[in-house]
Amino acid sequence: MTTETTDPIPRNYKEWRHCIEHWCGLELSPAFIEKRLQALRNPSDDHTRRLIECYGESHYRSLLGWFERADTESKNR
């Protein structure tokens, strides 16, 4: 898992989840996940457009998939 601060961009779900929960100190609560999914699924959302501009379509799709996986996991607990 990437834990080096020289590469802060997560490359997979495990790295992303670690980054969100430990580096950012955020709880992946169902409410937080749903709010982020709504924004990510809205191509007109300013944050979503900027995310794609900065990190590219591939990273955007990965991020959307990671939030969808977190959503599924939170519902199966």
Residue 13 lies in a domain: no
Share of the chain above pLDDT 70, in %: 91
Cα 39 from chain centroid (whole Å): 11
Residue 52 lies in a domain: yes
Residue 21 lies in a domain: no
Between residues 9 and 53, which one has the greater pLDDT? 53
Residue 43 lies in a domain: yes
In which domain, by residue range, is 58 found? 28-75
Which of the four pLDDT bands, split at 50, 70 and 90, describes residue 2? very low
Which helix (H) or strand (E) segment holds residue 12: the answer is none
* Opening angle at CA 71, ends 50 and 17, nearest 5: 65
| Single pTM value for the model | 0.87
When divided into structural domains, the chain yields a total of 1
Backbone angles phi, psi at 6, to 5 degrees: -75, -15
Q: Given a cut of 70, is residue 4 above it in pLDDT? A: no
Distance CA 29, CA 37 (A): 12
Q: Given a cut of 80, is residue 6 above it in pLDDT? A: no
The radius of gyration of the chain from alpha carbons, rounded to an integer in Å, stands at 12
Residue 57 lies in a domain: yes
